[in-house]
Amino acid sequence: MNLDARQIFNVFSRMSSRERWLVGLAAAGLVGTCLYSFGLDPLINGKARLQTQVVQKKKELQAIIEQRKTYLDVAQKLKAGLTLLAKVDPNFPLLTHLETTISQVIPRERINSMSPSSKPIGDEYEENIVEVKLSQVSLQQLVDMLYRIEKGEQPLRVTRLQVKKRYNDPRNFDVVATVSLVRATA
């Protein structure tokens, strides 16, 4: 079936004015519906979809910024840790140093035991540990001892500290402290 514009015009011209008005109104409605469906609606929905994507991308950007801050913080701590490890003397006598440092503050008869041990940390590092048991130590002596251990030339850390009040002497304490030193294995 061939549609000829002259035939459509002839049919349209034979219609009454009321029919022409109704056909024109229907054609205008059809054109309006097509414009809305194929033009305006995709633009409105596209704008809403883009706004949703913008909000999502902003959240992703904020997460990336937070991850960057975390990464920079960890990288700075790693650099500081590696600098600290570089200061460690590989021949540093940990047990002797602790015995000397502790005996400067606490009398030798109150040092019950000092137990050294070591454990590997990966392939490159080793943690040397000394567990120190003390009895009848005053709070001032304990604070002074901890300060001297952690503020010395070598990067020693008290990794565990257990303080028990003595039953018969409430001003003195029994202390178990674990001191560690991490160093490269050679």
pLDDT tens-digit readout, 153-171: 888 889 999 999 888 888 8
Cβ burial of 9 (10 Å; 0-12, 13-18, 19+) is exposed
Q: What is the distance between the alpha carbons of residues 179 and 91, in angstroms, rounded to a whole number?
A: 17
- Per cent of the chain over pLDDT 90 is 30
Mean pLDDT of the chain: 86
pLDDT category of residue 133 using cuts at 50, 70 and 90 = very high
Q: What is the per-residue pLDDT for 65?
A: 95
Q: What is the per-residue pLDDT for 176?
A: 94
pLDDT mean over 28-49 = 82
- CB-side exposure of 18: number of CA atoms within 13 Å? 0
- CB-side exposure of 148: number of CA atoms within 13 Å? 16
- Neighbouring residues of 178: CB distance < 8 A, sequence distance ≥ 6: 129, 130, 131, 132, 158, 159, 160, 161
Q: What is the distance between the alpha carbons of residues 117 and 115, in angstroms, rounded to a whole number?
A: 7
The H-or-E segment that residue 86 falls in is helix 41-87
Fill in the amino acid letter for 104: Q
**pTM of the predicted structure, to 2 decimals:** 0.57
pLDDT category of residue 54 using cuts at 50, 70 and 90 = very high
pLDDT score of 186 more than 70 = no
Answer with the residue of higher pLDDT: 75 or 183.
75
pLDDT score of 118 more than 80 = yes
Helix 94-103 vs helix 139-150: angle between axes, to the nearest 10 degrees?
Answer: 140
Contact criterion met (CB below 8 Å) for 141 and 90: no
pLDDT category of residue 42 using cuts at 50, 70 and 90 = confident
The H-or-E segment that residue 50 falls in is helix 41-87
Answer with the residue of higher pLDDT: 81 or 129.
129
